[in-house]
Amino acid sequence: MIIECPCKKKKFNIDTNLIPAEGRNLQCGSCDRVWFYKKEDPIPEPIQINEDNVIQQNKDIDKLNDDKSKDQLIKQPVEENKKAKSKLSIINETENKSKEIKKTQSSKFFSYLIVFIISLGALIILLDTLKTPLINIFPGLEVLLFNLYETLKDIKLFIMDLS
């Protein structure tokens, strides 16, 4: 089944078995938008009508009209129950969506933090590797690099003392 993101930027080919009848939340890989998707009911096949069906339907309708008052008494509590359940499900869905958005935001923050730490480590390794050519080009850089390495040693000793 092909599902399109509400932002209209991306379409997804999703296996129908992955989406239950009550629906589920989906997230766009392009815009990171999260939305609730529910399967649409397939279009039923057209009913072929002949005279026998029409007569039978009329009899069924008359029978239903006779029992209408009994049905109304039964349907009222059921409908009220359905309304209450739908309100609860809407509240649960909004809570779930807000939790998922918070999880997504916190996971993005940690992803950026990890990328920053790895990039900083790579920069330090690069500066250490190219220390001599950089000092030849920028003589004042020697003092800064020395202070950077001493600071890193101090941080290392501090972390070792913590454990």
Q: What does the pLDDT look like over 133-143, one tens digit per residue?
A: 999 999 888 89
Residue with tokens 């001599």: 132
Q: How many CB atoms lie within 10 A of CB 13?
A: 7
**Can you read off the two tokens belonging to residue 163?**
């454990």
Q: How far apart are CA 5 and CA 51, in angstroms?
A: 47
Length of the chain, in residues: 163
**Can you read off the two tokens belonging to residue 83?**
């309304």
Mean pLDDT of the region 36-41 = 72
CB 66 within 8 A of CB 43: no
Q: Global pTM?
A: 0.35
- Helix (H) / strand (E) element for 131: namely helix 131-137
Q: What is the pLDDT of residues 53-91, one digit of tens each?
A: 555 555 555 555 555 555 555 555 555 556 656 666 676
Dihedrals phi, psi of 17, to nearest 5 degrees: -70, -20
Residue with tokens 């399967």: 39
Per-residue pLDDT band at 42 (split at 50, 70, 90): low
